[in-house]
Structure 1
Amino acid sequence: MKLFRLMGQIHLWLGLVVGVQVMLWLISGLIMVLWDIETVRGEHLRTPVQEASIDWAEDALPLADVLATQTSPVTDATTGWLAGGPVWRLTTENGPAMVDARTGADLTPVSEDLARQIALFRYAGEGELVSQDRLDTPPREAGLGVPAWRFEFGPEDPATFYINSQTGELRAVRTTLWRVYDFFWGLHIMDWDTRENFNSWWIKMFAAVSIVFGLAGVVLTIYRLMWMMPRKKRG
């Protein structure tokens, strides 16, 4: 009987401590499986980058000519596409750089006009460009540690596009669904700030306490069944 009372008290107090978080785990887990991750990330609102054909030997500037215009040593160079046009992407000691492969024009940092072209080129929704601005310190949802261009589309298929001001990369597409998902993800992993650390002591502690809570319930159930069986026989 003493063990039964002890398990009952443990179960009761642990239920008060972890019950809310357990419910949040269940609710947030349900929210996160209702939509596939591609929809959450807004993949349906991105126009895929089509690698149009170009003769890099004849239609584009030779790499040697591009390197000759750089004031910083180049450690890597690759070809790519930006807003439908060919570019040389360079890695220099001073950071990334882009050069128009046809004209040789320096595209870094990305200008407002070029960023707008990129955003309009990549947006696949039915809405229109509503606003645009440059952010020296992008918000957490942009996933960028460098200045970025932010473009808002709507009212149909509303979305926020974040474009890296150094590389022209469409870094993130954010929608209301993504923000709801992100909120519940933070609740699920118990990282309410960055929503990235799913290995914190908070979640470890609550997971361990939840196991003890469950085991206490198992002990109580077994003890109650064992205690009730003789009573039935006596009856």
Structure 2
Amino acid sequence: MTKRKIIQYIRKWHRYLGIVLGIQFLLWTLGGLYFSWTNIEEIRGEHLKEKLPFPQSSIGMVSPNVFLDSHFESTDSITSLELINILDEPIYRVVYSSPFGKRARLFHASNGKPKASLSEKEAILVAMDGLNKQAGVTQVEYLIATGKHHEYRGRPLPAYAISFAKPINTTVYVSKEYGDIQTFRSNAWRAFDFFWMLHTMDYEGRDNFNNFLLRAFALFGLFTILSGFSLYIFTSRIFSKKSLK
């Protein structure tokens, strides 16, 4: 193969790959600009969170042994036990793994009796308590399942999605079994999530950096760069003069 044909072959692949990769590089750049020009704390809703008080030690509380021995099976594996505050009441939350998956149960810290999972009314009050701004509730949705693209993906179910009006314009997700706010989701977060999907090129689950498509584009990008260097070497007068000496 002559030098001219090699140059034509490299230039052809460099041009076609440049078009395809250029689109993705543009998406990566737009995503990078959005990530760098936005406040991640605001996207996560940190600026809306109200710091809830911890249960006071002066409140009489029973030992967790009161309910651990009588309400769990030998096959249950307890992964955490926390003392939390739900609507100004101290509550023990036990997270455990059972044959049916990861679960959570609530118990009144004052007497060790089981507390029912949050009702819709309680979930709304929990969401309001967790906000440092006041706003009206526009919608309440009860979730028992979510897809891979849902904004509440990968978090405890069932849950209540409680949407608030201006000035918050945010959906607060409250877990029914865990009894607390799991996350905040606003339009800013949804835009971030969309650009994140474009950035990772994981169009199925959005969070997998090891997907085949991203690896392929990384290799194509490397090939495009190397082909560009090759074109420079083959067409550069400097290298041509050196080869004639």
Q: Please, what TM-score do these two structures have when normalized by structure 1?
A: 0.85
Once the two structures are TM-superposed, the CA of residue 115 in structure 1 deviates from its matched residue by 1.2
CA distance in 2, matches of 1:24, 1:165: 38
In 2, the alpha carbon distance for the partners of 1:171 and 1:85 equals 19
Partner of 2:108: 100
Q: Does the alignment pair 1:220 with 2:231?
A: yes
Does 2:38 match 1:35? yes
Task: Name the SS of the counterpart of 1:14 in structure 2.
Answer: helix
Q: Say whether the 8 Å CA contact 1:115–1:149 is kept in structure 2.
A: yes
Equivalent of residue 88 in structure 2, options 50, 69, 84: 84
Gaps of 5+ in 2: none
Cα distance in 2, alignment partners of residues 158 and 106 from structure 1: 35
Opposite residue 168 of structure 1, the aligned amino acid is G
Indicate the RMSD between aligned Cα atoms, in angstroms.
2.5
Q: 1:34 to 1:126 in 2, by over 3 A?
A: farther
SS of equivalent residue, structure 2 residue 115: coil
Q: Secondary structure at the match of 2:114?
A: coil
The 5-angstrom pairing of residues 35-184 of structure 1 reads: 35-55=38-58, 59-67=60-68, 70=71, 72=73, 76=78, 77-91=81-95, 95-102=103-110, 104-138=112-146, 140-143=150-153, 144-184=155-195
Is the alpha carbon distance of 1:204 and 1:146 closer, same or farther for their aligned partners in structure 2, counting shifts above 3 Å? same
1:28-50 CA deviation, whole Å, 9 max, x = no partner?
12112211322211111111233
Q: Secondary structure at the match of 1:142?
A: coil
What is the TM-score when the length of structure 2 is the normalising length? 0.82
Residue 196 (structure 2) pairs with residue 188 (structure 1): no
Contact 1:138 1:147 survives alignment (8 Å) = no
CA contact (8 A) 1:133 1:151 kept: yes
Residue 14 of structure 2 corresponds to residue 6 of structure 1: no
The Cα of 1:225 is off from its aligned counterpart by 2.9
